[in-house]
Amino acid sequence: MKWALLSVWDKTGIVELAQALAEKKYNLMSSGGTGKALAQAGIKYTEVSSYTGFPEMMDGRVKTLHPKIHGGLLGRRHIDDAVMARHGIDQIDLLVVNLYPFEAMSQKQMDLEKLIEFIDIGGPAMIRAAAKNYKDVAVVVDPTDYPMIVHMIREDGISAEQRFDLAKKAFARTAAYDAAISNYLYSISNPFPTTLSMQYTNGRALRYGENPHQIAAVYGVNGIAGTEPIQGKQMSYNNYLDVNAGVALLREFEEPAAIFIKHNNPCGVAIGHDLFDAYITAREVDPVSAYGSVVSVNKEVTKKLAEEICKTFVEVIVAPCFSREALDIMKTKENMRVLILPPECRADEIRTIDGGVLVQRTPSYKEHWEVITDRDPSAHEMKALQLAWKVCKHTKSNTIIFADSRHTLGIGAGQMSRVDSAKIAIEKACASLKGSAVASDAFLPFPDTLEVAAKAGATALVQPGGSIRDKEVIDAANRLQLAMVFTGVRYFRH
């Protein structure tokens, strides 16, 4: 006769699992709320306290912390049989445990004294014991695995390979649980913990990394990281980076907007009266770079737009939704990846460096736009400045953006010299820059960039300000009759 110990906070599916185990002649052991749920369903079980000979105590803090429980989980078959028999310890073959919901409760701004009671002790101890002894014991920590367990016990039983897979998942769960507790306790007095513990799930291997000789994987269940195409080839490492960049910029706009991303930088951005208009406009900003780009839009993709998208080689198209007709049309492009725009998932930014990681958090902040020249921007110029500034925030430094009120005109990104960025933007301009607005992601240390922009036809400029030569730059703007706005916020992207 086999024993199964069931002790869960989340009761989802536990009664059905217990019924299946009882049908296969398992002895069931349980306690507390789990035992009550089994009793209400008419399922016979042995109370833990009855088996151990010790009652639950200390408001339930101590119930499964007993040698007869841990001996049953840790006992090695054919090695520890004699000592188990001498002490009346039964072999436990299956452990089903999920933990007190510390992660969820820690989000409720509960007093620490109350929150401490949601730190599970017996659960992790049993999980680790069973997982250590995976050769003889199967441990289940996820209710979504119950149907698989039912199928296994009704067929050939739980194999050694399956027990090993369950053990890996179990250790991952206790690691995540301890990490959540550690990070939370550190956060009480520090914005960042002295020891940062992280865990990401849903790991999927990618075809390769940035280049074919590199290997890569993606982890995550939410946001961009958790998104899979509803059509097309598997996402690549670079696809995920570009989608992430495009969607971050897309979320700056409420009006219909289209973003073309190439190598993590925007190559065309536009807003329009409708999405079709925005898409065409954004594509024509730099049609050469648009080839093979990642496109993000913020409204439904219709049949008409889908037909237009399919005229160009697009690696990925991301949208909140697609009409049925649009999806049918896109099927003709078998390799094009089609993604549903996921809800935003805010988190700290983490980047690896040699020997560790950098962690960055963006708290709530407010820009302070201030006109600091003799001339104020016109209404048209102000709209153009606002659009250019949004794009500037999401383009690699140093960056200079030329725009009108509807779309980018020229983008200069990732240069060591801000003047060079301006020259590249001018060279790549899709139309006349006369009357355009310019955005710079950081202050202008000299008037030279402003002078280059003005010579190209720009009449307004937005920048953070804060240089020791601000007055020199302001004087140059006034001399050239440019309107200039300081925002007080820098947007370096490295």
- Residue 264's region, left for phi above 0, alpha for psi from -120 to 50, else beta, is left
Torsion (CA) 453, 454, 456, 458 in degrees, nearest 10: 90
Which burial class, exposed, middle or buried, applies to 311 when counting CB atoms under 10 A from its CB (0-12, 13-18, 19+)? exposed
Going by C-alpha positions, the residue among 101, 6, 10 that lies closest to residue 48 is 6
Catalytic residue among 2, 11, 132, 233: 132
- Tell me whether residue 368 is one of the annotated catalytic residues: no
Cα 82 to its chain centre, rounded Å, is 51
Rg of the chain over Cα atoms, rounded to whole angstroms, equals: 30
Catalytic residue among 11, 169, 233, 263: 263
As a residue count, the chain comes to 494
Backbone dihedral angles phi then psi of residue 197, each to the nearest 5 degrees: -110, 130
- Tell me whether residue 263 is one of the annotated catalytic residues: yes
Cα(244)–Cα(294) distance, integer angstroms = 10
Dmax over CA atoms of the chain, in Å, equals 97
Residue type, 401: I
- Annotated active-site positions, please? 132, 263
